[in-house]
Structure 1
Amino acid sequence: MTNMILTNDSKHVVSIGALKGNTSRNSVSLPSKLLKQYPSISKIKIGQWIKNVHFIQNETLNTVQLTKDILNKCGFNPGMECNLKVEKDTLWLGPLVGLLTSSRYIRKLKEQHPSFRSLEMIKTNRKAKTVLFYFCTNDVNLKENTIEGTSFNELSGKWERRTYPFPDVLYDRGSGRAVFKDKKHVIVRQKISEIPVSKVNAQHYFDKWDLHEKLNQYNEMKPYLPETKLYDTQELKEMLKKYSTIYLKSAIGSMGRRVMRITKDKSYNSSYYRKKLKIKKHYNFDDIHSVVKRFFGGDKIIMQQGIDLFRIDNRNVDMRATVQRNGSGDLVINSIAVRIGVEGSPVTSTRTGSNVLPLNKFLENYGENFSSDVKKRIENFLLQTYRCIENVYGSFGEMGIDFGLDKKGDVYFIESNAKPAKDSLYKSHNKKTIRNAFQNPLEYAKYLAKF
């Protein structure tokens, strides 16, 4: 059990206990030293729930005892640890961090089948000590301002359902495409935006066209941006006169699922990855349009100049950087993973079978192909890109930035992801780097909530 540290500031780590006996439903019991330190407190706040209470003392070293009513309202388990702070007359416990995800993800948690991401989050939260819960839009009760969240109980070792108030901080990892399919996604996010809930990321997805247009306004970003246009058959024909390779991408999509490559030599060739690599020849340009429509449906599509990427044995090489803000709000490059794609594949996503290695290892093996300052140029590019995106959309606690080096060693921006899956990171870096990647968003959430 963590010992409470009484300091001159107002922040502590405490254990949560159950208040028993003939006490009022509005009572909260604090260690006597803590109560003496803050004799004027009269309210308790957990997430967006706040209540006037009567504070009484106990003789424990670090346990805040709550009534059954408060425990049930706020999703707390006796024996859990969390952060405590005092502001004026209010004692805060938390911070409550609500991670918004899909209904399928929640179902897996309820079935006790968490992903490696959930397991890593739980491990790192043992240090951060936030009150972390997962939820989907169906779990939100808009009338009661409550959420039926799913969280890990350290004592039982199981994922359990509990009722929570709206959180202090939203960690939105919901699907960007779901917004266009389910009105409740829009309603829930709008409701959250109307109350003082901080966000780890200013938004949970990027429209690739909108992002390109915004970044193209910055002169310092223009050298990194491949030529990009909205899909149009005549424009595609013109671009294929200029470039031998064009990439078509859904404006909203991730993990390479909605990407098609079009090349031109003696014929036109389309290639994409759907469970397996598919390559087709087209002797008539008009056939391209029907293939595109079948693949992308009604999606908004961008066309992008094919970058003459550095290759290894005819396999494309690109990179995924995980860039984050830490518990002090400072910008850090957590990791840069290099992805060596499958021969012939238009994408290097890990789900296609790419080999992944850290940048340092890549440069050890292939660095002679680039200038000696390539790593510094990459890092400058990443920080500059991150800050330009924040200037446009607002603050982000983390971002995945995909980029590539061409055969000359010049850096090109490919796309950015507002909720990096961390698959490439997980497959290429050591445990400490992985742990930091999962801990930074939680520590940043504490920073946002001022815990």
Structure 2
Amino acid sequence: MEGITLLVTDSTGMKIEMNRKMAIKAGLFKNREIDLSYGMRKVKVKLLIKKRSAEDKIFISGQAVEKLKIERSVPYNCSLEGNCLVIGPVLGMLFKQNSKNLEQALKENPAMFFPYARSIKGLGGLLFFFAEDGIDYDASEISGYFYDFETMSWKQSVFPFPAIIYRKIKASRALKEAFGRRLINPPCYYKWKFYSILKENQAFEKYLPETTNVITKENLDSFLQKYGKAFLKMSNQGGGVGMHLIWKEGEEYLSRQNFTDDTFRYSSAQMIKLLKVCEKNHILQQPIDIKAHQGRQAIYRVIAVKEHAENWKVRAIHGWLGEQGGISTQAYGLTARYPDDLLRMQFEYPPRKVKEKIREMEKLAVALAEHLENACGTFVDFGFDFGLDEKGDIYIFEGNTLQQLEMALWLGDQMMYGELIHRILTALKEMALGN
């Protein structure tokens, strides 16, 4: 049942009333006691048949509304799961750690946040944004913001724990313990675990730079002998933070940090001390000779989205160029390019070759999403970072679970961004109503 309006009755006790035709369609019968679920809350109610009621309205007693903490200003969908009538979806979007920062972001970035409101209005249900400091674990409530179309603004309110949480920040232990499998895009891996999970499948081996988490001078020397240079990367950081490119001149080791032009020199003894500090949270990785354009390395973010809560499909690919003369594909500032444009810039590919390479990236991304979800838990989107070497061979660098979906907005492509958000919310809706 879709597009259902919830109304409060003055009935005493825990009751729900609906039109006879609606009840039959849902498989419900008069005077039956059922569970009524909203988000993570559930109560037992008695079903009453209201003969003259409209088919798109359900009447709930004030006591039940208060217990479930139902927001009544939005239309909902209902589904019967066994003896439980699920009202929803109730979706929580965890985007910040601090509520003040979230409130500011909602006000200052309408192009980023309004598509969520527009999409959920069409899908039906409640979507609210919240920050981690807005969670009251004792009361099982969250202070957050939903979009009020009457005032055309984000309205603050208190909500029950949602059926699904879609996160865009790192997950704390308390968050993981409280929501478990309801936490979509769960914390799964850092760089080394990502590499290890993919190494389990031989089909991915040719796409992976050689990588180790055993940080010793012997392993560094082995990488330098094979590749001439080696990356030393922090395993738990993204965006190129803390990345060093290391090479050797004579008996000295040289190191250049990402986003800088500074070069540091180390003796053998000094390098041993440096690597000792990096033992627990770094990896050594083979540097790939990425095909550059005018001295800037190119990278492709391939966004795979789950369709109908089941199958994976690539819904967007964005490319960008790294810093001029930089050691990596990372760049400051908000820049993006369409993949076909960037492939032509890199390789001067004809249209047919561009389509073939994009198709190869899409096929690889879907295979990666399927493999990672089987290994890690329930996901709804991934952002994979691919680089192409001088021969056009693809290499996998990252699998982002907290990706920036708004890259399409950097291209000025609001339609692509809106479609991407709608696909994600559609999958979340189907997951929520199945809980």
TM-score of Structure 1 vs Structure 2, range by shorter chain: 0.7 to 0.9
Correspondence list, 1:359-438, <5 A: 359-368=339-348, 372=353, 373-428=356-411, 430-438=413-421
Give secondary structure in 2 for the equivalent of 1:156: coil
Q: Is the 8 A contact 1:341 1:353 kept in 2?
A: no
Q: Which residue of 2 aligns with 1:209?
A: 192
Q: Matches of 2:385 and 2:137 in 1, distance apart?
A: 37
Specify whether residues 354 and 80 from structure 1 end up closer, same or farther in structure 2 by C-alpha distance, changes over 3 A only: closer
Q: Matches of 2:40 and 2:242 in 1, distance apart?
A: 38
Q: Matches of 1:424 and 1:289 in 2, distance apart?
A: 40
Q: Does residue 1:143 correspond to 2:138, yes or no? A: yes
How far is 1:424 from its partner? 3.0
Q: Which residue of 1 aligns with 2:223?
A: 239
Q: Which residue of 2 aligns with 1:6?
A: none
Correspondence list, 1:220-231, <5 A: 220-230=203-213, 231=215
Q: Which residue of 2 aligns with 1:179?
A: none
Specify whether residues 447 and 381 from structure 1 end up closer, same or farther in structure 2 by C-alpha distance, changes over 3 A only: same
Q: Is the 8 A contact 2:209 2:395 kept in 1?
A: yes
Q: Does residue 1:444 correspond to 2:431, yes or no? A: no
Q: Does residue 1:42 correspond to 2:36, yes or no? A: no
Moved more, 324-333 or 35-44: 35-44
Q: Is the 8 A contact 2:117 2:147 kept in 1?
A: yes
Give secondary structure in 1 for the equivalent of 2:193: helix
Q: Is the 8 A contact 2:96 2:102 kept in 1?
A: no
Q: Matches of 1:75 and 1:429 in 2, distance apart?
A: 39
Q: Which residue of 2 aligns with 1:332?
A: 313
Q: Is the 8 A contact 1:233 1:289 kept in 2?
A: yes
Give secondary structure in 2 for the equivalent of 1:387: helix
Specify whether residues 400 and 265 from structure 1 end up closer, same or farther in structure 2 by C-alpha distance, changes over 3 A only: farther
2:261 maps to a residue whose letter is I
Q: Is the 8 A contact 1:172 1:204 kept in 2?
A: no
Specify whether residues 412 and 107 from structure 1 end up closer, same or farther in structure 2 by C-alpha distance, changes over 3 A only: same
Q: Is the 8 A contact 2:29 2:47 kept in 1?
A: no
Q: Matches of 2:271 and 2:123 in 1, distance apart?
A: 52
Q: Matches of 1:126 and 1:347 in 2, distance apart?
A: 41
How far is 1:265 from its partner? 5.8
Give secondary structure in 2 for the equivalent of 1:279: coil
How far is 1:348 from its partner? 3.5
Q: Matches of 2:273 and 2:131 in 1, distance apart?
A: 36
Cα-to-partner distance string for 1:211-252 (whole Å, 9 max, x where unaligned): 112211211111011011123344223322322332222211
Correspondence list, 1:79-118, <5 A: 79-104=73-98, 106-111=99-104, 113=107, 115=109, 116-118=111-113
Q: Matches of 2:233 and 2:266 in 1, distance apart?
A: 21
Q: Matches of 1:128 and 1:288 in 2, distance apart?
A: 57
Q: Matches of 2:149 and 2:280 in 1, distance apart?
A: 43
Q: Is the 8 A contact 1:358 1:429 kept in 2?
A: no
TM-score (norm 1): 0.82
Unaligned runs of 5+ in 2: none
Q: Does residue 1:125 correspond to 2:120, yes or no? A: yes
Q: Is the 8 A contact 2:74 2:125 kept in 1?
A: no
Correspondence list, 1:191-340, <5 A: 191-193=178-180, 198-201=182-185, 203-230=186-213, 231-264=215-248, 269-273=254-258, 277-285=259-267, 300-327=281-308, 329-340=310-321
Cα-to-partner distance string for 1:158-192 (whole Å, 9 max, x where unaligned): 4334333332222132215xxxxxxxx21331232
Specify whether residues 354 and 443 from structure 1 end up closer, same or farther in structure 2 by C-alpha distance, changes over 3 A only: closer
Q: Is the 8 A contact 1:206 1:418 kept in 2?
A: no
Specify whether residues 321 and 146 from structure 1 end up closer, same or farther in structure 2 by C-alpha distance, changes over 3 A only: same
How far is 1:204 from its partner? 2.9
How far is 1:35 from its partner? 3.9
Q: Which residue of 1 aligns with 2:151?
A: 156
TM-score (norm 2): 0.85
1:314 maps to a residue whose letter is G
Give secondary structure in 1 for the equivalent of 2:425: helix
Q: Matches of 1:414 and 1:390 in 2, distance apart?
A: 18
Q: Is the 8 A contact 1:402 1:413 kept in 2?
A: yes
Q: Is the 8 A contact 2:190 2:235 kept in 1?
A: yes
Give secondary structure in 1 for the equivalent of 2:337: strand
Moved more, 35-44 or 128-137: 35-44
Among 56, 59, 62, the alignment partner of 2:56 is 62
- State the number of aligned residues: 420
Q: Matches of 2:378 and 2:175 in 1, distance apart?
A: 20
Moved more, 147-156 or 314-323: 147-156
Q: Matches of 2:275 and 2:407 in 1, distance apart?
A: 28
How far is 1:75 from its partner? 4.6
Q: Matches of 2:77 and 2:246 in 1, distance apart?
A: 53
Q: Is the 8 A contact 1:82 1:131 kept in 2?
A: yes
Give secondary structure in 2 for the equivalent of 1:332: strand
Give secondary structure in 1 for the equivalent of 2:402: coil
1:113 maps to a residue whose letter is K
2:326 maps to a residue whose letter is S
Q: Matches of 2:299 and 2:433 in 1, distance apart?
A: 37
Q: Matches of 2:193 and 2:148 in 1, distance apart?
A: 41
Q: Is the 8 A contact 1:322 1:335 kept in 2?
A: yes
How far is 1:303 from its partner? 1.4
Q: CA RMSD in A?
A: 3.1
Specify whether residues 36 and 388 from structure 1 end up closer, same or farther in structure 2 by C-alpha distance, changes over 3 A only: closer
1:415 maps to a residue whose letter is E
- Report percent identity of matched pairs: 18
2:16 maps to a residue whose letter is V
Specify whether residues 31 and 262 from structure 1 end up closer, same or farther in structure 2 by C-alpha distance, changes over 3 A only: farther
Moved more, 380-389 or 402-411: 380-389
